[in-house]
Structures are given as structure tokens and as C-alpha cells.
Structure 1
Amino acid sequence: MIRPIVIHPDDRLRQLCAPVLSVDDDLRGLISDMLETMYDAPGRGLAAPQVGVLSRVFVMDATWKTGEPSPLAFVNPEILWASPEMQSNEEGCLSIPDMPVQVSRPARIEAMWLDETGTQRRGAFEGFEAACICHETDHLNGVLILDHEAAA
């Protein structure tokens, strides 16, 4: 089911999201809806607060616009390590339409999360995938790309 996307300056986008306590069918339904909404938008990442759910979950598919789809769900994600080397990219946000912002983020990260089955995962990411994970994790902490612009 495609869900409506919350648009800035909605207060829900500024909230610290609560940890997910249980990976269950309701959460899997939310993840499925979020992926459908993300692809329809069309975006490459979508965090739960962007569909009005204040839980620590996001979905992403960094490759689907240029190759085969490879959707990932991140539940209670943590960025464990970030490289000192930075990358600067123009980032868009489905909750802030038509307002791309130049954002500087780590070039490489290591993250840990639960997937949609509740299995703990750990992975290293670089380039666009690293930036996307940082962007979506920011959403779970009430941080928007506009905050990075102000700091630049």
C-alpha cells in the first residue's frame, strides 16, 4: 500500500524515533508499504517518520534506478564507524520536494541493523550507499538535509 509522504515542515520529521521492540508481521507490513511508497515516489530511501511512523526503521534501494532492484530494510540501525574521508553530494529528500542540498558525509561507513526477519546484520558501505544510510539515519534522529546546509 502506498502511504502518503509527510512533507516538511511537519513536526513529525523533527522527532527522535523510538526503537523497534519486535520484528513482527505488523513491522513487515510497514516495511512492504514503505518500499512500495519509495519506489512510487520515486526515491532510493525512505524512513518511517516520512510516512508518519515514529519508529527506527528505514528502507533503501541504492541501485534500482540504474540496475537491478536490491531493496534493504534497516531496523534499529546503528552507524558503528565512519571514515574520516568525506564526500559531498547533492541530496534530495522525498519530504522536502524539489529542494536538493549539497551535503558532506563520510565516504565509507560500517553499520549494524536488524533486517525484516529480525536477523542482525552488519555491513560496510561506501559512496552513494553510505550517504543514503547516513541520510535515512538522520531522519530517525529528527535531522534533515536542511540542517546540513545551515552548518556548511
Structure 2
Amino acid sequence: MALRIIVHEPDPVLHERAKEVTKIAPNIHKLLNDMADTMYHAEGVGLAAPQIGILKRVIVVDVGDEHGLIEMINPVMTEMTGEQLGPEGCLSIPGINGDVRRHQQIKVTGLNRNGKEFSMVVTDFLARAFQHEIDHLNGVLFTEIADRVYDAPRHDKE
């Protein structure tokens, strides 16, 4: 298990566009493993490579549903339908939530860790998570597109 440091706003790397992965080598496999470890350790549901300071188009998502961990390299949304408005938070912006409009359903296509292309049609919270992580790859933070931004509820351990 290798944990990476999560970059926090206002680090400029969070506002840059990530570069496409052109070769899937062992360093990309290690990146995917480290990203998953880091996401789970931080109790997140998604993580994009720029959030650990790496400008590569790589994301991991696990919203706790039947899909489990989803790794995607060079993700692209190819179909978007419907609209949902809901709360979001971000490991790179602790303590802040926002109400963000997202597509209700998307089709996302990318590469798996072996370089094989695959597509998924996802809805609801999983669609929201994918859109949030893809925004990170484009240098967009949820606070920039939220209808409303507010302090996250505290979960103090007593």
C-alpha cells in the first residue's frame, strides 16, 4: 500500500489540464494502485491524478455499489442525458460542499489498466462521481460550477 499526498486548493496543479496517457507502462499500474489506496484511505469515492500532483488523465472511482473499483485512463464522456442537482465534496477542498448540476446519465469511454478500451453507461451518484473526476482532469473544481457552496457538516469523533 502506497499512499500519496492529496493536493489541496489553491495549488495551481488543480487548475491545469491533464495530459493524455500515450503509453501504459508499469508506472501507470503503480499510479492506479497508489490512487486507489489513497482514495480509500481518505474515505473518498473518487480520485483524479492531478489531485496527487500528477497531470495525467487517470481516475479511480468507487461509490460503494456493485461496480466496485473502476479504473479509467483517458476517460471521455460521449453521451450525456438528463440533469441532477446534488451535493458534492472533494478531497482537495476539505470542509466545503456544494450543490452541483450534473448529467443524470452518461456514457464514458476510456482505457483499462491493460490498454483495452471499454465503455460504461452510468447513472445517478456514479455518473456524478465520474463527472467530478473528469472535471479534475480539465482543471475544473466543483466550487467553480456549483449553484451554491457551503461549509460541510462536521463529523467530530467524540
TM-score by length of 1: 0.93
1:19 counterpart = 2:54: no
8 Å Cα contact 2:135-2:141 kept in structure 1: yes
Q: How does 1:106-121 map to 2 (within 5 A)?
A: 106-121=103-118
Sequence identity percentage: 36
Q: How does 1:24-35 map to 2 (within 5 A)?
A: 24-35=25-36
Letter in 2 for 1:76: N
1:128 maps to which residue? Answer: 125
Determine the C-alpha separation between the residues in 1 that align with 2:148 and 2:24. Answer: 36
1:62 alignment partner, SS class? coil
Determine the C-alpha separation between the residues in 2 that align with 1:148 and 1:116. Answer: 30
Q: Which residue, out of 69, 73, 90, partners 1:71?
A: 69
Please, what is the CA RMSD of the aligned residues? 1.6
Residue-pair matches, total? 148
The structure-2 alpha-carbon separation of the partners of 1:151 and 1:99, relative to structure 1 and needing over 3 Å to count, comes to closer
The answer for unaligned runs of 5 or more in structure 1 is none
Determine the C-alpha separation between the residues in 2 that align with 1:121 and 1:20. Answer: 15
The answer for unaligned runs of 5 or more in structure 2 is 150-158
Larger Rg: 2
The structure-2 alpha-carbon separation of the partners of 1:151 and 1:41, relative to structure 1 and needing over 3 Å to count, comes to closer
Determine the C-alpha separation between the residues in 1 that align with 2:57 and 2:34. Answer: 15
Q: Deviations over 1:63-106 (max 9, x none)?
A: 1xxx67811111000000100x2001100100000101100100
Determine the C-alpha separation between the residues in 2 that align with 1:26 and 1:113. Answer: 18
Q: Deviations over 1:119-140 (max 9, x none)?
A: 1001100000100000000000
1:61 counterpart = 2:58: no
Q: Deviations over 1:24-65 (max 9, x none)?
A: 1110000000000000001000000000000000101011xx
